[in-house]
Structure 1
Amino acid sequence: MREYEKLMEKIHILEYHQKLLLKLVENPKLPFYKLIIEKGLTEADVESFFRLCGDLCEELGKQKAEGFVYFHPLFNKLSAFLPANINMKETVEACLGQKLYEPLFKEFEKYI
């Protein structure tokens, strides 16, 4: 039964990547989608990433309102979350290239 579960998981990943590839065919300037496929991320991985980025954007806004100018702890939080095969530089560049969470990743760009 274990092999069946592994196979089903791979099929789900392939289906997710296929959806992203169709979006890339329509618009090849989606570097974050390309990164997802290259690194073999699952849909659950990406959803968790987006949730964390939403939370970090909220926190960034609060900290800016309070007068903070250094956001390295937020950078470190995201960096610790990423899978080992993905680095912050490529993540920041891909998200900025796709205009995802721009205020957050523009701040993070300063740390790479």
Structure 2
Amino acid sequence: MNEHKLLWQRIQLLEYHQKLLVKLLHNPKQEFYKLVIENSITEQETEKFLALCDELSMKFEEQKAEGYVYFHPLFERLLASLPANLKMEEVIKACLLQNLYEPLFHEFEKYL
């Protein structure tokens, strides 16, 4: 039974990566999607990461409007939530190249 479950998970991962590859055919500059594929990140992991980025981006804008200038706690929160096989430096670079959460990742780039 475990073999079937493992096989099913691998098929789902391949289907997800295939969808991303189709997107890459239309726009090869989507570096974050390349990173997801290269590191075998699942759709659930990607969705969780993007949801956290949405949340952190909103907090960043709120804190910035309130006059905050120190955003390292947000950086640390994202770092702690990254899938194990992703490196923060690669994620920041890929997201900036793909224009994802630009203000947030420009700020996080300072903490590398």
The TM-score bracket by the shorter chain reads over 0.9
Residue ranges of structure 1 left out of the alignment (5+ in a row): none
Identity of aligned residues (%): 58
Displacement of 1:39: 0.5
How many angstroms apart in 2 are the aligned matches of 1:29 and 1:47?
20
Displacement of 1:40: 0.3
- Give 2:63's aligned amino acid: Q
Displacement of 1:6: 0.6
So what's the TM-score if we normalise by structure 1?
Answer: 0.97
- Give 2:84's aligned amino acid: A
Structure 1 stretches (4+) deviating beyond 2 angstroms?
A: none
Displacement of 1:49: 0.5
How many angstroms apart in 1 are the aligned matches of 2:9 and 2:84?
20
Q: What residue in structure 1 maps to residue 59 of structure 2?
A: 59
Displacement of 1:5: 0.6
User: May I ask how many residue pairs the two structures share in their alignment?
Assistant: 112
Q: Deviations over 1:17-60 (max 9, x none)?
A: 00111111121111000000000001000100111000001110
Aligned CA RMSD, in angstroms, stands at: 0.7
Aligned ranges 1:7-46 → 2 under 5 Å: 7-46=7-46
Residue ranges of structure 2 left out of the alignment (5+ in a row): none
So what's the TM-score if we normalise by structure 2?
Answer: 0.97
How many angstroms apart in 2 are the aligned matches of 1:64 and 1:22?
37
How many angstroms apart in 2 are the aligned matches of 1:59 and 1:80?
17
- Give 1:22's aligned amino acid: V
Q: What residue in structure 1 maps to residue 73 of structure 2?
A: 73
Q: What residue in structure 2 maps to residue 2 of structure 1?
A: 2
